[in-house]
Amino acid sequence: MSAFSPITVSGVLLAGGQSRRMGGQDKGLLPYQGRSMASHVISAILPQVDDFYISANQHIEEYQSFSYPVITDGLDNFQGPLAGILAVMEQIDSDYLLTVPCDNPVISPQLRQRLLEALLTTGSDIAVAHDGTRLQPVFSLIPRRLQSSLTDFLASGQRKTRDWLFQHKVVEVDFSDQADCFININTADDLQKKPKIRSAIPVLGFAAFSGTGKTTLLTKLIPALKNKEIHVAVIKHAHHNFDIDKPGKDSYQIREAGAEEIIIASAKMMALMRKHHDELIEPELQPLIQRLDTSNIDLILVEGFKHENFPKIELNRAELGPPTLFKEDPHIIAIASDKNDSHADMPLVLDINNIPAMVEFIEQFIFSWNS
């Protein structure tokens, strides 16, 4: 590889285990938040790699349905992730393998970037993620040139990933600021957990029942925040079919003709439309946040997504009765209401009609986000 050759990285989904703690069920194919865990991992890792492979030893047809090459181990009896890594090494031409497990549906969008930068700046052989508490050996960037070393290691009867990694110069890469990216699903109970939303930009939601006036409040808050030079992005959840273009327009006709994705762009605006084929799958907030260009954003406001784990203000109006969402959601940090009722078990109560006071509260929230 010359000094001017681009570095190529193949992504590898490690799904070759026996899933003993999950009762033998294939973890990568189990549903998590509406779709398989493997689907979550693939969606997160694809933008970070040049091509992609799946290491699996069972349910081959199910993994082939993802439309990426499925490679089985050359060793019998589920010999562990290193056997899968070697099998992929033997069939690719990329410079590096970026490995991720099938039972960790939340993947850092900076995984490749941080691992590769650390590897190149330190002159190490292998880069491995560290979550601030423990090393994460299956989140590694491994050069294909170590294929012979791995072959010899496995031929000697050894199987432990950590033991082989540390035969070489390893750099441990700090992901302590993204520790929730290593949630590892091992049991049926783990499948029910919703991870906390991760974002370098402050994220604040407005949770309420329909008809409470979330959009109305946002249209008042956004100009007031802009006057404070706080640049805002908004993510809104829609509970029904919606359209951002009118029937008869070119983009509408193109989409109705069957296009899967459409980008509409002008000098002032750009919009992406993508079809969802499974109407039962609700959108998730984390992937939407990752799609934002946050280079000029100070705050992300969210309307809806009240069942996800991130800071929220519950909206309440007198005609709808007392606030209730905060009782079940520990992530509600305040209540915006048009009445002054306050009890010891309630979060801070804000006057929903006092926009300057709400802006002041949001300013304090932004300041405390990364404190």
How buried is residue 71: exposed, middle or buried, by Cβ count under 10 Å (0-12/13-18/19+)? Answer: buried
Phi and psi torsions of 297, nearest 5°: -115, 135
Residue written as tokens 């090494």? 89
| Same domain, yes or no: 265 and 355 | no
Assigned domain for 198 exists: no
Residues 16 and 105 in one domain: yes
Q: Are residues 17 and 156 in the same domain?
A: yes
* pLDDT-derived band at 90, boundaries 50, 70, 90: very high
Structural domain that includes position 262: 242-280
**Over 90: is that where the pLDDT of 3 sits?**
no
Q: What is the pLDDT of residue 167?
A: 95
Residues 267 and 361 occupy one common structural domain: no
Residue that finishes a domain, picked among 228, 256, 280? 280
**30 vs 189: CA distance, rounded Å:** 12
pLDDT at residue 77 greater than cutoff 60? no
What residue spans of the chain are helical by DSSP H?
37-45, 60-64, 81-89, 111-122, 147-155, 161-165, 214-227, 250-256, 285-291, 325-328, 355-368
248, 139: one domain: no
299 in the same domain as 265 = no
Give dist(CA 261, CA 257) in Å, integer: 11
How confident is residue 279, by pLDDT bands cut at 50, 70 and 90?
Answer: very low
pLDDT in tens, 91-101: 999 999 999 99
Q: Taking residues 178-198, report their average pLDDT.
A: 69
**How many Å apart are CA 282 and CA 237, to the nearest integer?**
9
Note whether 257 and 306 are same-domain residues: no
Give domain status of residue 168, yes or no.
yes
Query: Angle of helix 81-89 relative to helix 147-155, nearest 10 degrees?
Result: 140
Closest CA to 306 of 276, 345, 332: 332
Does the predicted model carry a pTM greater than 0.95? no
Domain count, the chain: 3
In a domain, 225, yes or no: yes
Q: Give Cα 345 to chain centroid, integer Å.
A: 33
DSSP state letters, 147-201: HHHHHHHHHTT---HHHHHTTS-EEEEE-GGGGGG-----STTGGGPPPBP--SS
- 61 plus 144 within the same structural domain: yes
Q: What's the pLDDT at 269?
A: 67
CATH number at residue 305: 3.40.50.300
Residue 360 belongs to a domain: yes
Confirm whether 3 is domain-assigned: no
What is d(CA 275, CA 246) in angstroms, rounded to the nearest whole number? 16
pLDDT the model gives residue 280: 47
The verdict on 344 and 227 lying in the same domain is: yes
